[in-house]
């Protein structure tokens, strides 16, 4: 078993018991072929059990029981073969009880919550931003770092460390910014990140707004190149969040290329922040950027946001889970037909806390 925790032991053993009872009941059915089995009732019960599999009941702090498993086990023990035999055999081992990662204490509680929500939501990639003081604390306390990242280590998720400041676009070379170095150190000492995700966004700087963009473009590309070299030395990829309108800004050193082209050449992955609240508008906003990705295919995500403080028309905040899920499904299908369809790795949702709020509405 992956953990010695009592709650997890109970989860695994109870799930196993559910399946064993179902199997024994099935064997009993074969040994007594004359018994009357109400097939309609059995099928109705199985369907009911599958529907219930969505709901789970916590066991202490480290396990949870699927209602399917509990109902099937009770039916097999109390209701006899017609209620529990086939249903228990088919679904008992699969949907009985599922153990959760052992949650750490204190400020690391975000990790198991995020990992569990992403896993059960069918998502496969998580970008983790860690506050500066917390990063340094984890670097100074290896035990705390191990506890913090343990749930992610066995989650099956691809995890990116996310960090960035607009001022880094003023880079003129030299050592990488300290926050990047801290994430690289965390990846070596505590938890191997699959990639480093930089959120630099030079457009927030006053120089950019004044039209003095060439030095910022050069600085950003210089930063990406240096960060990619250091990531590669550690077996990590480099990713970055990019605004779609970078296609409107030229690369000052290459008249035939744009800022976005230069970024893609220096990245292993990209995230296009096409923040709109409707699939058609999202695709139109990202159209030029996706064409650039098609010319230089690197895995890219198309970003949506659920954050409250974005401009109207750019966020799904307050629009409800049904609308959000419908639009994401439509966008997913339409992205397959986009020029960069083969390079689109998925849809990135910003951010976790507001996404949870949205999904509860």
88-135 tens-digit pLDDT: 444 443 433 333 333 333 333 434 444 333 333 344 788 888 889 999
151 falls within a domain: yes
For residues 222 and 170, give the distance between their C-alpha atoms in angstroms, rounded to a whole number.
Answer: 9
Find out whether 164 and 131 touch, Cβ atoms under 8 Å: no
Domain-embedded: residue 64: yes
Phi-psi region of 156 (alpha: psi -120 to 50; beta: other; left: phi over 0): left
Number of domains in the chain: 2
- Domain boundary residue among 99, 122, 153? 99
Spatial neighbors of 301 by CB under 8 A, at least 6 apart, are 125, 269, 270, 271, 272, 344, 345, 346, 347, 348
Q: Which two tokens stand for residue 254?
A: 């290459």
Same structural domain, 64 and 213 = no
Residue 145 inside a domain? The answer is yes
Same domain (yes/no): 70, 145: no
Distance between CA atoms of 71 and 56, rounded to whole angstroms?
Answer: 12
What the block records as the tokens of 352 is 């976790």
Higher pLDDT, 226 or 155: 226
Residues 61 and 209 in one domain: no
pLDDT at 243 over 70: yes
> 65-100 pLDDT, tens per residue?
444 444 444 444 444 444 444 444 444 434 333 333
- 160 and 52, same domain (yes or no): no
Same domain for 32 and 149, yes or no, is no
Among candidate residues 35, 70, 99, the one where a domain is terminated:
99
CA pair distance 226, 223, nearest whole angstrom: 5
Asked if residue 219 and residue 76 are part of one domain, the reply reads no
| 168 and 273 assigned to the same domain | yes
Mean pLDDT of 337-359: 81
| 210 lies in some domain | yes
114 and 61 together in one domain? no
Separation CA 162–CA 240 (nearest Å): 9
Residue 319 belongs to a domain with what CATH number?
Answer: 3.20.20
Q: Which residue has the higher pLDDT, 88 or 247?
A: 247
Q: Judge if 72 and 194 occupy the same domain.
A: no
**Range 357-361 average pLDDT:** 79
Nearest to 347 by CA among 295, 246, 291, 279: 279
Residue at 35 is within a domain: yes
What is the percentage of the chain residues whose pLDDT exceeds 70? 65
Instruction: Identify the residue with better confidence: 71 or 191.
Output: 191
| Domain around 181 | 106-359
Q: Which residue, 69, 64, 75, is CA-closest to 25?
A: 75
Query: Over the stretch 195-228, which tens digit does the pLDDT of each residue have?
Result: 999 999 999 999 999 999 999 999 999 999 999 9
Identify whether 1 is part of a domain.
Answer: no
Radius of gyration of the chain (CA): 25
* Structural domain ending residue among the three candidates 99, 134, 149: 99
- What would the pLDDT profile of 18-50 be if each residue is shown by its tens digit? 556 555 655 665 666 554 555 555 555 555 555
Are 303 and 336 contained in the same domain? Answer: yes
Same domain, 144 and 93: no
Our CA angle for 61, 66, 67, nearest 5°, is: 125
Q: Is 24 exposed, middle or buried (0-12, 13-18, 19+ CB in 10 A)?
A: middle
Q: What's this model's pTM, rounded to 2 decimal places?
A: 0.67
Dihedral-angle region of residue 58 (phi above 0 means left; psi in -120 to 50 means alpha; beta otherwise): beta
- Angle, to 10 degrees, between the axis of helix 178-189 and the axis of helix 142-153? 70
Average pLDDT over residues 217-242: 96
Residue 176 covered by a domain:
yes
Q: Are residues 185 and 201 in the same domain?
A: yes
Residue 203: φ, ψ to 5°: -65, -10
Identify whether 243 is part of a domain.
yes
Closest of 153, 16, 4, 22 to residue 98, by C-alpha: 16
The pLDDT value given to residue 154: 73
């Amino acid at each position: 078993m992956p953990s010695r925790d009592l709650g997890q032991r109970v989860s695994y053993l109870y799930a196993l018991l559910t399946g064993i009872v179902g199997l024994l009941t099935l064997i009993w059915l074969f040994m007594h072929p004359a018994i009357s089995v109400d097939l309609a009732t059995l099928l109705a019960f199985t369907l009911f059990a599958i529907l219930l599999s969505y709901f789970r009941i916590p066991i202490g702090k480290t396990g949870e029981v699927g209602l399917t498993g509990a109902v099937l086990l009770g039916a097999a023990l109390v209701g006899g073969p017609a209620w529990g035999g086939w249903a228990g055999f088919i679904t008992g081992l699969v949907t009985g009880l599922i153990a959760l990662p052992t949650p750490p204490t204190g400020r690391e509680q975000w990790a198991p919550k995020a990992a569990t929500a992403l896993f059960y939501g069918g998502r496969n990639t998580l970008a983790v931003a860690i506050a500066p003081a917390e990063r340094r604390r984890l670097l100074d306390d290896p035990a705390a770092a191990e506890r913090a990242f343990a749930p992610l280590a066995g989650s099956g998720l691809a995890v990116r460390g996310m960090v960035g400041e607009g001022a880094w676009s003023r880079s003129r070379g030299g050592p990488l910014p300290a926050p990047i170095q801290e994430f690289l150190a965390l990846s070596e000492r505590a938890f191997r990140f699959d990639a480093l995700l930089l959120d630099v966004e030079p457009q927030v700087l006053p120089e950019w707004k004044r039209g003095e963009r060439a030095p910022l473009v050069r600085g950003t590309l210089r930063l990406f190149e240096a960060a990619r070299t250091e990531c590669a030395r550690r077996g990590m990829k480099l990713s970055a969040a990019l605004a779609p309108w970078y296609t409107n800004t030229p690369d000052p050193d290459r008249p035939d290329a744009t800022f976005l082209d230069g970024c893609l050449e220096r990245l292993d992955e990209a995230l296009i922040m096409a923040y709109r609240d409707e699939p058609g508008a999202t695709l139109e906003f990202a159209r030029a950027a996706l064409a650039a990705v098609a010319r230089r295919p690197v895995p890219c995500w198309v970003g949506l946001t659920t954050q409250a403080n974005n401009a109207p028309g750019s966020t799904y905040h307050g629009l409800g889970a049904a609308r959000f899920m419908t639009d994401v499904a439509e966008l997913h299908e339409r992205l397959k037909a986009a020029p960069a369809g083969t390079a689109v790795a998925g849809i990135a949702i910003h951010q976790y806390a507001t996404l949870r709020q949205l999904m509860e509405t």
